[in-house]
Structure 1
Amino acid sequence: MRVPVSWLTEHLETDERYTAEQLADAFVRVGLEVEEVTPLGPVTGPVVVGRVAEIEELSEFKKPIRYCRVEVYETDDYEDMVAEGSDEPRERGIVCGATNFVEGDLVVVALPGAVLPGGFAISARKTYGRISDGMICSARELGLGDDHTGILVLPSGEASPGDDAVELLGLDDTIIELAITPDRGYAFSIRGLARELACALDVAGRDAAAVDVPEAEGDAYRVRIEDREGCERFVARRITGVDPTAPTPWWVRRRLMLAGIRSISLAVDVTNYVMLETGQPMHAFDTPSLTGPIVVRRAHEGETLTTLDGVKRKLDPDDIVVADDSGAVSLAGVMGGESTEVRSDSTDILLEAAIWDPASIARAVRRHKLPSEAAKRFERTVDPKLPPHALERAARLLRDHADGSIQPGRTDEGAARPLAPVTMPISLPDRVAGIEYDRGVTVRRLTQIGCGIEVGSTDDGKPSVTVVPPSWRPDLVEPADLVEEVLRLEGYDTIPTELPKAPPGKGLTPAQRRRRTVARALAEEGYVEVLPFPFVSPTVWDDFGLPAEDSRRRTVTVLNPLESDRGELATTLLPALLDVLVRNVSRGTRDVALFNVGQVVLPKAQQVPVPSVGVADRPGAADLAALHAALPTQPTHVAVVLAGHRQRPGWWGPGEQANWADAVRAAEIVADAAGVELTVRKAELAPWHPGRCAQLLAGDVPVGYAGELHPKVVDALGLPKRTCAMELNLTSLPLADRRPAPSPSPYPPVLLDVALVVDEKVPAAEVATALHNGGGDLLEDLNLFDVFTGPQIGEGKRSLAYALRFRAQDRTLTLEEATAARDAAISTATERHGATLRA
């Protein structure tokens, strides 16, 4: 939110003059985030108010160009006028391309010698065949805002030619921009921010909503609230006889511009101004355009509404709407409808101020992609006692500046729900902060923020306070919230920073050490760790080709997702990891190897409701057990995806394409780092290719899959061809408490090769296992280095060539011993898989 310093300090009852930096520091001290402090200008030199006396249209150019005669006075002119006995102004000729002003309008003129924001110096110069003796300025050129659609035209009667525009426009002001967090909706207004400043500076403040609200004499308009959950309160006030040609006062326009809101018309500007001042968004209806009573309800199926931006929108049954007999006329809390907007000839206006359900407004904004200043405030909650006061303030502004007549009736449907009182020991803030505050600090600080206080005692006789939160603070619901208020207003910097002593003998758990070891091992093999978005879209399971009964489709839905189309917690790491792969490939990276170690969320068959546990004391064993029972299972997985070349091509050779074997090798790297052995078995599971998919087992327990993705999955997700992936349940791997150091043999190895002919359906991994078992302790290692098929081998057969390495720990192995071990290995493979030695 952007606020000018002059507007803020107007609501502080103090003679002290604070700089913008002091105010920004005060905001930071009470926990508000200051994004930027921006002084207006600087503007130097003669910048004055001028009256347009004559306009000459220069039609010989392709775009609209005007030569204007502008009446201005200058300091030297006044001296000349006195000497000459004349009070006639001097005219200056100025070339201007804007067309939003007419003869007689008051404009801001930068005369030669002036320097505008950005170091833009003004001088007399010839352009478009005329001498332009100055410049007629827009709001953006003066640093008042971003509006550059036309010249800044001042209301008549509020300035005179020759007035100092720097002083009139307040160009010596400063803008403070703050980021308002969702829990502090009250701070989205001058009213709330001034209250925070008053607390931070320990001064009294003025309530911008302190407007006397007279008793209503009947209803202003018939209103019926059908959806009490969506609309807590609806207040309406009617003003007739409004002058539609009345200009918006300059002080209102200026503050709207500095806040980043464009001036539209007096009626609309007044609602926006009061919204910024009090925090209560409002809407103005053209009363004659309404037909029948107003009804607040949810939208009907298939109902449409053309909003003020001219877009016809299809409404959702979850949308809250304001309707009349003709149907929906406003998307509640977001944007009004075109059929009842206040037009340039509207004289009868119905002002509305309501309290809407924050969650419903937030969903509507995201659903229709229609953010607005009003919705920002309703999403963060609005003071439910505020609508009558804000309406009265707006109605009086229209009465004073548009000659409107405030009708005696006021509609007030619904009521503000009282907030529950909160009781806490009066010393609780001291105990939490670890310091002893002065006597009375807790009561004084809670009173400052508007709480009602009643001092009492606990059951054991110790002093306590019962606090009734003010209507604008629905976030104060338990003692911890009150403690936070006391601590932040006293200053977080007053809390001592003393780190607790770490108990000796503790460090990372075995599971944490294993996770780090696995990540380091993959990184050393060339994989890059990424932290992808943990939420997925339900459509991804169709892209993966998962059957309807697949357990991975059963997910946990997020109630308020960051992205509406990704509202489920992932049951596998692959969707998010493949998203990252696609993003990298789209940006020109062709050879990609990524990994992620993270948790997945697996819901239980029977969902247990989550219990509500307070924060006043440490939860007991029963509370913790109930919380853990309600949580879904969240095992840690490790996954890799790779595409492109495993070995890049270059002058040294053509390189090597990544394939399913590299995905299996990644699983073996993880297993080696974790200190376990994996068994690889042929398998079929979506989204992997049925002929290039391996199941990974630790002992007899399946722990993951690896291989090449199915071509249909590759096409559906836009992946590079032959993309491979591996995912392994790290939690399911047995945790090795001790990992003995390797003891390599000092004796030389004996290297022998063997080629076995087996049925082509026999997995190479099972043949390798048979060779390992038959070779005994002397077989140190084996490696598959060739696979051959052809007529020489026979129909349905293939040749698997293995390099065997034999070695003894206590002696130099003889060739006879190595040959005997090799023959034993071949014999075992023959018994299990019918392998024959290839000639």
Structure 2
Amino acid sequence: MLLPESWLRTRVNPEISTEELAHRLTMAGLEVEGVEPVAPATSNVVTARIESAEPHPNADRLRVCQVNDGSGQLLQIVCGAPNARAGLVVPLARIGAELPGGMKIGPVKMRGVESSGMLCSARELALSEESAGLLELPGETEIGQDIRRALDLDDHVLELKMTPNRADCLSIMGVAREVAALTQASLAPLAFEPVPVTLDERLTVDVQAPDLCGRFGGRVVRGVNAHAQTPDWMKRRLERAGQRPISALVDISNYVMLELGRPSHIFDLDKIQGGLAIRWARQGETLALLNGQIIELAPDVGIVAAGDTPESLAGIMGGEASSVTLETQSIYIEAAFWHPESIAGRSRRYKFSSEAGHRFERGVDFQSIPEHIDYITRLVIDICGGQAGPITDEQVSLPARPAVKMRLSRCRRLLGIDVTQDEVAGIFEALGLPFVLEGETFSVTPPSFRFDLNIEEDLVEEVIRIYGYERIPERPPLARAKMRMRPEAKHGPHALRRVMADLDYQEVVNYSFVEAAWERDLTDNVQPIELLNPITSHMSVMRSSLWGGLLANIRHNANHRQPRVRVFELGRVFRRNAAAEDGPLGVQGVDQPLRLAAAAWGPALPEQWAETARKVDFFDIKQDLIDLFGVQADALSFVAQPHPALHPGRSAQILFKGEAIGWLGELHPRWVRQFDLASAPVLFEVAFDALVQAHVPSYREVSRQPVVQRDLALWVDEAVTWQSMLDTIAAERLQQPELAIVRDVRLFDVWRDAGTAVEGDDKALFKKEKSLAFRFWLQDTDATLDDARVEAALALLRDALVRQHGARQRV
């Protein structure tokens, strides 16, 4: 936003410099990105009148002018401008003058005629890039005054970068209110004197969409002269604010928008058939806009229509059909309040922006519409003439402005300073925020032009903006040098990440939203949590497993010719659960547990000479999982179970202390083909809560006795699992005191026979069996074990396995 300083100082004129003004605005949250003078420096350039302009005797395109510069003596100046004529008031660079660019003026002879100065164009004064001749000044301009004073060229333009919440400052008056509060300077309000009503004519207005338009005002003005010239002072202010003057009626509308923050629209009344209807557009309707663009309207776009014909895009831009021209004689001035949510995003949909839409989508004052219509009407009548009818004011659905409470104690706590009650009250009064004081609680009713005041923290921000961030004392933070105990019974997420990195995995961070097909295929989740506004069509649901992202990582690396990939992710998954309650870190109906997942693909080991190359398999990743749990791996067990994402014969459910915590297995061949991978990745996913509990070491007497090793090989049915036999051994060790000497047991060999013949009624049957070889470590803390005690312990274990699993000892 471009803000001419001279225009601002007509409303509030604090006794501070331009630099100080820019600094205070920036510190108050209205960032000043730059301050530029409206014109470069010049010297000895004054206003002058051409008294006569005669043809040059030796040049067809030159004129010899006699110029009055107010000194009492006419100056002879040769000029080649096409508009040089008698009676014209123009800028004159006297002898010794210095113009922008370093040009210095001296006496010269042009085709034999002496010239004592130079008559200047706007381009030569660096006021414009274009030049059609001399810069023509109003005829009543005082002769001989410095051109900088005559044109206010010592003015500056401030470029403000507004935050989206401060729509109230998108105007001269809005910034003036801020400056008055910051500097305690008096604010000169505009006088909105009612315009005499000399016509008894109204235009029928039907607001059919209260959710689009909350208030609609307007009036008829007839007998205007659209050919009237926009006053120079208004043109100058518009140009410095970044607006190009077009015509008097258009310029007045733009001027009031910049001065008061009130976007308005002026219709050519003779082009409107019937009354106006404010409604949502119908599918298939089109509208030709003022910028020449023809757009196809949608049902969520608001319009102002005359009969069934759309005339303007509500709150954004007028239509070409009812626009004012130089032939316009009757107009309808419209000023309305459009709900911000009904305007936001509409102009961007049609790939353009407008000053009106920029303001309405942020919120515009809805209480001052009649006064602003009077102000616009006054300017129209003063500049273009005409007669005005009464104001139509349709109030349909104005926003509620509930009071916002701010506790003084809360304000002090957030700011870290002891602002007094009187200081806060003075700040609210300076900002024009009406309040009621209840004890130490301020109850502020936001004005109709402040849409950014909704919660307690908004009021705290207002206090510190005006109080001054620079007044907050600099106090270095105090940190107590207190050693905190590291919880030995818990693993933090960073510790788990380090363990995974040590196991040769690389961490990845994937989006929490994934393809719906992943949820259906990989997790059998037919009702995933859908996103209302997905960033892309293939990321439309919340993940209930981390595997989809890891498989996408593997596919991406495989496509880039990476032969070996090992990745893991620690992140949240999202599942429907009616029992989940709302809370500071929870959402009602949604579980959000943390999970740790990993995937490995390609060779089990990096390429090397010492090991034969082989693909990673189920048992490699199972060992990684055991290493991840560390000393607590004894509480892990694996039960063969099918999973929709995993190979039917190479998948297992992971149990920890008897509770299911996740899955481990090789990716199903169907999904291997779908992800276009040369071999199957192996994956696991476990609950973070199971990993967070660490094993706390406890003292156990170290035996001085030797360890005894014994092996036991048993035939069991092919369907008997190692895990079930291990569970039997563990249960027996707990029940039999004699087995306290068994320190450890491991499976070290599995051997399968082709089959054992079994006699049947008709023919021999074959029963498939396997041989499992166990190795036991036995040790006592008090005495050396003898063979009898060892054999007795092994016999108990063997008998339990025979009894529970039908095992028989292999001989």
TM-score, structure 2 length as denominator?
0.67
Distance apart, 1:226 and its partner CA = 1.7
**CA–CA distance in 2 between the matches of 1:511 and 1:335?**
66
For the residue of structure 1 that corresponds to 2:219, the secondary structure is strand
- Residue 763 of structure 2 corresponds to which residue in structure 1? none
For the residue of structure 1 that corresponds to 2:168, the secondary structure is helix
Pair 1:176-2:149 in alignment: no
Task: Assess, with a 3 A threshold, how the Cα gap between structure 1 residues 552 and 246 changes in structure 2: closer, same or farther.
Answer: farther
Contact 2:558 2:677 in 1 (8 A): no
- Residue 390 of structure 2 corresponds to which residue in structure 1? 409
Task: Assess, with a 3 A threshold, how the Cα gap between structure 1 residues 157 and 43 changes in structure 2: closer, same or farther.
Answer: closer
Distance apart, 1:413 and its partner CA = 0.9
Pair 1:553-2:528 in alignment: yes
For structure 1, the residue ranges without an aligned partner over 5 or more in a row are: 51-68, 94-103, 124-132, 611-623
- Residue 496 of structure 2 corresponds to which residue in structure 1? 518
Distance apart, 1:186 and its partner CA = 1.5
Pair 1:18-2:21 in alignment: no
Contact 1:517 1:673 in 2 (8 A): no
- Residue 282 of structure 1 corresponds to which residue in structure 2? 264
User: Which of 727, 730, 734 is residue 688 of structure 2 equivalent to?
Assistant: 730
**CA–CA distance in 2 between the matches of 1:400 and 1:552?**
67
Write the letter of the residue equivalent to 1:469: P
How far does the alpha carbon of each residue in 1:502-546 deviate from its partner, in whole angstroms, 9 at most, with x for none?
798978889995333233434555655566665x48xx3146445
**CA–CA distance in 2 between the matches of 1:34 and 1:699?**
60
How far does the alpha carbon of each residue in 1:727-777 deviate from its partner, in whole angstroms, 9 at most, with x for none?
54424x375265338999999999999999999999999999999999996
How far does the alpha carbon of each residue in 1:562-617 deviate from its partner, in whole angstroms, 9 at most, with x for none?
96979978353659957995998799796876655444454543898x8xxxxxxx
Contact 2:2 2:160 in 1 (8 A): yes
Distance apart, 1:374 and its partner CA = 2.8
User: Which of 442, 452, 455 is residue 424 of structure 2 equivalent to?
Assistant: 442
User: Which of 571, 591, 595 is residue 638 of structure 1 equivalent to?
Assistant: 595
Contact 1:226 1:295 in 2 (8 A): yes
Distance apart, 1:673 and its partner CA = 10
- Residue 354 of structure 1 corresponds to which residue in structure 2? 336
1:687-706 aligned at under 5 Å gives the runs: 695-705=653-663
**CA–CA distance in 2 between the matches of 1:37 and 1:602?**
51
Task: Assess, with a 3 A threshold, how the Cα gap between structure 1 residues 765 and 433 changes in structure 2: closer, same or farther.
Answer: same
Write the letter of the residue equivalent to 2:496: V
Distance apart, 1:43 and its partner CA = 4.5
**CA–CA distance in 1 between the matches of 2:557 and 2:123?**
46
Write the letter of the residue equivalent to 1:318: D
- Residue 3 of structure 1 corresponds to which residue in structure 2? 3
Distance apart, 1:695 and its partner CA = 4.6
**CA–CA distance in 2 between the matches of 1:725 and 1:143?**
71
Report the identity percentage: 26
Contact 2:627 2:633 in 1 (8 A): no
Task: Assess, with a 3 A threshold, how the Cα gap between structure 1 residues 668 and 310 changes in structure 2: closer, same or farther.
Answer: farther
**CA–CA distance in 2 between the matches of 1:833 and 1:260?**
90
How far does the alpha carbon of each residue in 1:384-436 deviate from its partner, in whole angstroms, 9 at most, with x for none?
113333334444444455x2535323221116556345677788756776755
Contact 1:362 1:379 in 2 (8 A): yes
Pair 1:211-2:200 in alignment: no
Write the letter of the residue equivalent to 1:541: A
**CA–CA distance in 1 between the matches of 2:320 and 2:619?**
63
**CA–CA distance in 1 between the matches of 2:684 and 2:457?**
45
Pair 1:90-2:87 in alignment: no
Distance apart, 1:687 and its partner CA = 6.5
For the residue of structure 1 that corresponds to 2:390, the secondary structure is strand
- Residue 56 of structure 1 corresponds to which residue in structure 2? none
1:61-72 aligned at under 5 Å gives the runs: none
- Residue 472 of structure 1 corresponds to which residue in structure 2? 449
For the residue of structure 2 that corresponds to 1:13, the secondary structure is coil
Q: Which moved further from structure 2: 474-483 or 749-758? A: 749-758
**CA–CA distance in 1 between the matches of 2:516 and 2:202?**
55
How far does the alpha carbon of each residue in 1:199-246 deviate from its partner, in whole angstroms, 9 at most, with x for none?
1222222346x5334476666421111222322111123445555566
Write the letter of the residue equivalent to 1:361: I
Larger CA Rg, structure 1 vs 2: 2
Task: Assess, with a 3 A threshold, how the Cα gap between structure 1 residues 482 and 729 changes in structure 2: closer, same or farther.
Answer: same
Contact 1:676 1:734 in 2 (8 A): no
**CA–CA distance in 1 between the matches of 2:147 and 2:303?**
48
**CA–CA distance in 2 between the matches of 1:253 and 1:720?**
72
- Residue 616 of structure 1 corresponds to which residue in structure 2? none
TM-score, structure 1 length as denominator?
0.65
Pair 1:605-2:564 in alignment: no
The alignment of Structure 1 onto Structure 2 pairs a total of residues equal to: 753
Task: Assess, with a 3 A threshold, how the Cα gap between structure 1 residues 651 and 714 changes in structure 2: closer, same or farther.
Answer: closer
Distance apart, 1:472 and its partner CA = 1.7
**CA–CA distance in 2 between the matches of 1:261 and 1:511?**
69
Task: Assess, with a 3 A threshold, how the Cα gap between structure 1 residues 412 and 546 changes in structure 2: closer, same or farther.
Answer: farther
**CA–CA distance in 2 between the matches of 1:663 and 1:766?**
21
**CA–CA distance in 1 between the matches of 2:4 and 2:769?**
81
**CA–CA distance in 2 between the matches of 1:379 and 1:192?**
17
Contact 1:451 1:470 in 2 (8 A): yes
**CA–CA distance in 1 between the matches of 2:548 and 2:127?**
45
- Residue 452 of structure 1 corresponds to which residue in structure 2? 434
1:100-499 aligned at under 5 Å gives the runs: 157=137, 168=151, 170=153, 173-182=156-165, 184-207=166-189, 210-214=191-195, 220-240=202-222, 267-301=249-283, 303-308=285-290, 313-342=295-324, 346=328, 348-362=330-344, 364=346, 371-401=353-383, 403=384, 405=386, 407-414=388-395, 416=398, 419-421=401-403, 436-438=418-420, 440-453=422-435, 462=439, 467-476=444-453, 481-492=458-469, 494=471
**CA–CA distance in 1 between the matches of 2:489 and 2:303?**
53
**CA–CA distance in 2 between the matches of 1:651 and 1:564?**
43
Task: Assess, with a 3 A threshold, how the Cα gap between structure 1 residues 676 and 821 changes in structure 2: closer, same or farther.
Answer: closer
For structure 2, the residue ranges without an aligned partner over 5 or more in a row are: 48-60, 83-87, 105-117, 734-738, 755-765
**CA–CA distance in 2 between the matches of 1:818 and 1:71?**
130
Distance apart, 1:643 and its partner CA = 8.6
Distance apart, 1:340 and its partner CA = 3.7
**CA–CA distance in 2 between the matches of 1:410 and 1:787?**
100
1:492-641 aligned at under 5 Å gives the runs: 492=469, 494=471, 514-525=492-503, 536=513, 540-542=515-517, 544-545=519-520, 550=525, 552-555=527-530, 570-572=542-544, 574=546, 577=549, 596-605=569-578, 631-638=588-595
